[in-house]
Structure 1
Amino acid sequence: MGTSLIFFSQLNMCESKEKTFFKLIHSSAKEEASKDAKIRAKEKRNRLSLLLQKAEFHEEPLPGRPGPLARDTRVCPEEAVRWGESFEKLLSHKDGLETFTRFLKTEFSEENIEFWKACEDFKKSKDPQQILFKAQAIYEKFIQTDAPQEVNLDFHTKELIAQSIAQPTLRSFDAAQSRVHQLMEQDSYKRFLKSDVYVGLVEGRPPRPSNLRRRSRSFTYNEFQDVKSDVSIWL
């Protein structure tokens, strides 16, 4: 009788251990699946955001209609020449900034100028709540790892921003903005001055339409129909 009791007790112990083991495996599998699902959803959101941002510059122009770089900027050649004197003169002119932004979009690198403009707008904030809201929006859109429009910054600069984002000041993004400004001035600006769109403005020639084509709407819908868009609209 005693042997029977011991036998069944051992069975119960084994059964308990097996249940615990399978629970741990099941729990671990669920966690991994959850992580994978979150990663896939984040990737889809980022790709959707990218498609939405590029949509205008992938659009195939209709017959007789100018492409995105063929818009009438109404810039006289003399003004365009001044843009070539310095990067600051280009950025300080409304049409210059708009033309340069469109140029960067054709190179799929507009996150730099968009970040710079967001920082300029941020520094004009007055209300503490507005400062906090805009700082968090900039951080989530341009700074944090895998942000929809993540800019190229060194680890130290990103860490300083991350540490100050809970209590931001109007100078929180100064170092990052300066870094991005330098990158654009030394790289993108030089290519812009050699581009057809800029040379055409200097010579007074009408811009040529873009050859970029947009992805089909069916592709965009089929790939992202299960993802809720959380693309932030900058205020």
Structure 2
Amino acid sequence: MDTPLLFFSQLNMCEPKEKTFFKLIHGSGKEETSKEARIRDKEKRNRLSLLLQKPEFHDDTPSSSSEHLAKKTRISPEEAMIWGESFDKLLSQKDGLETFTRFLKTEFSDENIAFWIACEDYKKSKDPQQIIRKAKAIYETFIQTDAPQEVNLDFHTKEILAKSITQPTLHSFDAAQSRVYQLMEQDSYTRFLKSDIYLDLIEGRPRRRTNLRRRSRSFTYNEFQDVKSDVAIWL
């Protein structure tokens, strides 16, 4: 039995498959090739390009994210004034802690506040295994030589911690935490009160972009390393 043959007059077997398929679906007579259509397409692309350049489409950048945070918190000048009374009052308030952390990041010294927060969380631990696990994490992150976020501690304090880390207690990091607290209070806190970040808040000025600068050498011996320091990780 002979197989029937079907012929499609609109097909050209010499043409590429992609072009042949396009003709079957859309029809060769329906292709829009007019000058007006090309102009409209170009205008659409230009409008899209301008739209993507607007600030609201770049919320992933650090500056826009922090600006959004500042607008969301809406810290009053009265609240900010309280932070200037003492370093303890600054850290005792959530907005104060977040604002001070943002300031330390401009100086590349936020490992100090991250360590202090980690110690505060550590002292709330109850389960023995949790104490051991957290103590090891804090030691490897902030204390040991060449730690990713090494804080500035004297050799004697480091040596004591190295010996006690195998059997840690809730007070293992007290001396180190106190040392870092004093460094921040005497050094960074003083500069924070004179910074644009703080002065803008107490004077009710709009938030301005802050410039990053190298941190004080009185904080740590290591140069800044590309490691994320997130306050929430220890809360």
Determine if the TM-score, normalized by the shorter chain, exceeds 0.5. yes
Counterpart for residue 63 of structure 1: 55
Q: Please tell me whether the aligned partners of residues 69 and 208 of structure 1 are also in contact (alpha carbons under 8 angstroms).
A: no
**Partners of 1:131 and 1:170 within 8 A in 2:** yes
- Relative contact order, higher structure (CA 8 A, sep 6+): 1
- Is 2:189 aligned against 1:197? no
Partner residue, 1:103: 103
More helix by share: 1
Identity fraction in percent: 74
Deviations 1:85-134 (A, max 9, x none): 00000000000000000110111000100000000000000000000000
- The structure with the largest alpha-carbon Rg is 2
Instruction: Give the Å deviation of 1:67.
Output: 3.6
What TM-score comes out, normalization by structure 2 length?
0.63
Gaps (5+ residues) in structure 1?
1-61, 213-228
Aligned to 1:182: 182
Within 1, Cα distance between the matches of 2:143 and 2:181? 15
- Aligned equivalents of 2:66 and 2:106: distance in 1? 9
The normalised TM-score by structure 1 is 0.63
CA RMSD of aligned residues (A): 2.4
Aligned equivalents of 1:158, 1:171: Cα separation in 2: 14
Q: Could you say what secondary structure the match of 2:147 adopts?
A: coil
SS in 1 for 2:115: helix
How far the C-alpha of 1:68 sits from its partner, in A, is 5.2
Partner amino acid, structure 2, of 1:103: F
Which ranges in structure 2 are unaligned for 5 or more consecutive residues? 1-53, 213-226
* Equivalent position amino acid for 1:63 in 2: P
Q: Quote the Cα distance in structure 1 between the aligned partners of 2:194 and 2:202.
A: 11
Equivalent residue, structure 2, for 1:81: 81
1:209, distance to aligned residue in structure 2 (A): 2.4
Instruction: Return the alpha-carbon distance in structure 2 between the equivalents of residues 154 and 129 of structure 1.
Output: 28
Q: Match of 1:143?
A: 143
| Alpha-carbon distance in 2 for matches of 1:83, 1:69 | 20
Q: State how far apart, in whole Å, the 2-side matches of 1:131 and 1:149 are.
A: 20
The aligned counterpart of 1:118 is: 118
Aligned partner of 1:207 in structure 2 is 207
Q: Name segments (4+ residues, structure 1) moved above 6 Å.
A: none
How many residues align? The count is 158
**Contact 2:117–2:234 at 8 Å: present in 1 too?**
no
